[in-house]
């Protein structure tokens, strides 16, 4: 097998692997470095050089930012809610069914179980929690 056939077969053998194809072409054209890292005497020295490079880069960005005035966002007047309308069972049931079925290990009940039994068990409980929060204006933050 001559070199041309070998390289041709090498390119043909990676139709669904763009990385392998790129590496093959880069090797053939001589544009691929053997080691992309800068030359250095030790790994510790290389790590220190990278740390200094990024530290200096961040320091330069900070110095460049000093020439600009600090950002002062415009004041917006926000209308405060004085009261909330209580929800009904149908609306809460629709919200439960539209919610994502994702569950976390911290959830007390898997969402799939809530969706499965929402009408008979969970909708009335969730409805009373929401309406109690609305009437007392106390909202859980998490």
Per residue in 113-136, pLDDT tens? Answer: 888 887 778 899 999 999 988 888
- Percent of the chain scored above 90 by pLDDT? 22
Do 101 and 115 meet the contact criterion of CB atoms below 8 Å apart? yes
Model confidence at 138, pLDDT cuts 50, 70, 90, reads low
Q: What are all long-range contacts of 130-138, with beta carbons under 8 Å and residues at least 24 apart?
A: 130/87, 130/92, 131/86, 131/87, 134/84, 134/85, 134/86, 134/87, 135/84, 135/86, 137/84
Mean pLDDT for the chain?
84
3-state percent helix, strand, coil for the chain, nearest multiple of 5: 55, 0, 45
- State the Cα–Cα distance between residues 33 and 27, nearest whole angstrom: 9
Model confidence at 36, pLDDT cuts 50, 70, 90, reads low
- State the Cα–Cα distance between residues 11 and 25, nearest whole angstrom: 8
Q: What pLDDT sits at residue 38?
A: 76
Model confidence at 141, pLDDT cuts 50, 70, 90, reads low
Rg of the chain over all Cα atoms, to the nearest angstrom: 31
Model confidence at 56, pLDDT cuts 50, 70, 90, reads very high
Model confidence at 21, pLDDT cuts 50, 70, 90, reads confident
Do 115 and 96 meet the contact criterion of CB atoms below 8 Å apart? yes
Bin 45: left if φ > 0, else alpha if -120 < ψ < 50, else beta: alpha
């Amino acid at each position: 097998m001559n070199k041309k056939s070998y390289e041709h077969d090498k390119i043909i053998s990676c139709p669904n692997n763009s990385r392998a194809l790129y590496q093959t072409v880069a090797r053939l054209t001589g544009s691929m470095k053997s080691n992309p890292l800068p030359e250095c005497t030790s790994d510790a020295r290389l790590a220190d050089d990278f740390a200094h490079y990024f530290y200096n880069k961040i320091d330069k960005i900070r110095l460049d930012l000093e020439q600009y005035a600090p950002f002062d966002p415009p004041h917006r007047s926000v209308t405060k809610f004085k009261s909330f309308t209580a929800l009904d069972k149908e609306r809460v049931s629709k919200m439960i069914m539209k919610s994502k079925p994702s569950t976390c290990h911290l959830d007390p009940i898997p969402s799939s179980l809530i969706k499965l039994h929402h009408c008979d068990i969970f909708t009335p409980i969730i409805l009373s929690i929401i309406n109690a929060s609305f009437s007392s204006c106390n909202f859980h933050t998490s």
